Chain A
Amino acid sequence: MKTYSSSVYVNVEKCNGRMMCMRICPTEAIRVRNGKAELIVEQCIDCGECIKVCPNRAIIPATDSFSDLSHFKHTVAIPSPVLYGQFGRDVTPEMIQGALLKLGFNEVADITGACEAVSLAIREHLENYTLRKPLISSFCPTIVRLIQVKYPDLAELVVPFESPKEIVAREVKAQRSKELGFKEDEIGAIYLTPCPSKMIDIKLHPRKEKSFIDGAISIAEIYSSVVALMAEMRNVTPPEVSMNNVSGIGLEWTMLGGQTASLQMENSLAVDGLKNVIRAFEDIENGRLRDIDYIECHSCPEGCIGGSLTVENPYVSRSNLIGLMKRYGDEPKRSREEIQGLYNKKFFFTERRLPVTPRQRLDENITKAIEKMRKKDAIYRNLPQINCGCCGAPNCGAFAEDVVQGVAQITDCIFIYQERLKATGQEMLRLLNKKPGYIKD
């Protein structure tokens, strides 16, 4: 498998510097230099906004492809429940799982049961929790990155739970290696992902030693194969699947409000869209929302069904999934006692606490940082402050910071450039008109 430090990269051939990605990036992690977009990896939170907005499809999600899987002896597809909502109301998870087996996976592991268990465990956790509130859901890796990079003080509020996909991968690998005699690393657990963010979470796994998932394939990439295979299978009885106990409650997990709905708690919020999440985080930092117990955050509008690697319109997906939820019912698969037992055994907890990596500091040295802040302020005051972007930075503030940090030159601003040119021109004119001393008037 490849190694990445960021979930996206720029295809320089395709990029023609239209700056749409630079303007939309919520963490100002993109610059345009020499007419091409460049990514500042440390600042990227993998939200996928740039992928969605690029007219040339020049921003590429760094997911794996199906051909990367050949070296495993046993492959397990772990589809995000988002996949179940991509194909229409009459298409059931079993049919999709059947198509995935046909596609070449040895096994499909459903995660809706784990989603249900995790949401019930959150309820358990909230009942035992007495410290600072609100707790923040930790299942959108972009939101977790946002906290690590920009809101380090909120890190202690992130629910210390493993994601359902990791729990399923962990359990499947343990079981199959026992039953089938494979070593754990001969089993490839492949997540079918709605976004590049989940992929990078698998690669960087900030809260554990190693992810149990070995790779991620984009839902958009396998979409057409799944459609074709399901059409082929229409007349055949669907092949058997290993874990077809889909949970109706778990199907809701990836949609906005899905976690809080299954929590059945009044004091919770569900927030979608990075802008809104940022607003909520500012509120928490300002001491508001203290009477809220839990806040479910999704970077994408409508939740993961709005992820950048999905195909179906999120509103249609929602309607499809709601149809499926009715079919599977809302009876929990596990009893409360069972969940309590697992909770007490630390079944759901991550290995480590969330580390923070604040990226906002102007300098490691505080005195130097203050000096830079002063300089930045002075530069900013002299800029036109119209955020035109011609300098290659998303706004005048970011440009002033780039200049202070030495990664841009003040004359990259065309207005400053023009002023300097004018001043030089006037000086030249003055010199040209100046009569040397030996010429008499």
Chain B
Amino acid sequence: METLFSQQFLVEGGDFRNAGNASTQIKTILKQIGIPGEVIRRVAIAAYEAEMNMVMYAKRGVMTLRIEPMKVEISVEDEGPGIEDIELAMQEGYSTASPEIREMGFGAGMGLPNIKKNSDEFSIASTVGKGTQLSIRIRNRVVQSE
């Protein structure tokens, strides 16, 4: 499908100070375009959880926002340790977060399940030692049929 708008955002692993900036920028773009609130809400939660996972676990990564006539897509690609057992990682409550990260209010093991819950199509792939990729798609009709 035709891409109406796209933009990339770089995310640095371990950079908690700027954590959340990419998701905030994505939200601002969607609001400026006039995407409906309930769609933005779902994109925001998914993008934020994906961004935080990169900050917490990966070395660095790229988030790409793509707006198409029928959907909003966030794709995420990081360089990092990867996930050994994806099925396990997708389970609610499973987390390998360090005690420090738990102190900060993360590490409930709800991020990936929440991403999935908020997207209409979701896929995850990972190579141990290399990195993780997510594709998050949320349906949204931008172009009205004439």
Contacts and interface: CB of A to CB of B under 8 A. Distances in A.
Contacts of A235: none
Interface residues of B, number: 27
A370 B20 contact: no
A364 B34 CA distance: 8
A360 B48 contact: no
Interface string A277-294: 000001101111000000
B20 A362 contact: no
B132 to A, nearest CB: 20
A282 B40 contact: no
Nearest to A153: B37
A369 B49 contact: no
Contacts of B33: 361-362, 366, 369-370, 373
Interface of A, helix, strand, loop or mixed by DSSP: helix
Interface in A373-415: 373-374, 377
B114 A287 contact: yes
Given A282-B20, A282-B24, A370-B5, A362 B32 contact: yes
Contacts, number: 61
Contacts of A288: 48, 105
B124 interface: no
B27 interface: yes
Chain B interface SS verdict (over half): helix
Contact of A367 (B37, B41, B143): B143
A152 interface: yes
Interface centre among B32, B67, B114 (most CB of A within 10 A): B32
A370 B31 CA distance: 11
Contacts of A364: 34
A186 interface: no
Contact of B142 (A286, A358, A370): A370
B34 A153 contact: no
A150 B24 CA distance: 12
A338 interface: no
A421 B67 CA distance: 38
A373 B29 contact: yes
A370 B38 CA distance: 19
A360 B32 contact: yes
Interface residues of A, number: 22
B28 A370 contact: no
A336 B114 CA distance: 40
A363 interface: yes
Interface in A313-327: none
Contacts of B67: 370
A282 B4 CA distance: 26
B7 interface: yes
B33 to A, nearest CB: 5
B45 A363 contact: no
B119 interface: no
B134 to A, nearest CB: 16
Given A286-B48, A287-B114, A367-B142, A373 B32 contact: yes
A283 B105 CA distance: 12
A282 B52 CA distance: 14
Contact of A361 (B31, B41, B44): B31
A286 B20 contact: yes
A40 B27 CA distance: 23
Contacts of B37: 152-153
B24 A153 contact: no
B23 interface: yes
Given A283-B20, A287-B45, A360-B31, 11 more contacts: A282-B24, A285-B41, A288-B48, A360-B28, A362-B32, A362-B33, A364-B34, A366-B33, A367-B143, A370-B33, A373-B29
Interface of A: 150, 152-153, 282-283, 285-288, 358, 360-364, 366-367, 369-370, 373-374, 377
Interface of B: 4-5, 7, 20, 23-24, 27-29, 31-35, 37-38, 40-41, 44-45, 48-49, 67, 105, 114, 142-143
18 contacts: A150-B31, A153-B38, A153-B41, A282-B27, A285-B40, A286-B48, A287-B45, A287-B49, A358-B31, A360-B31, A361-B33, A362-B34, A363-B34, A366-B33, A366-B34, A367-B4, A367-B143, A374-B5
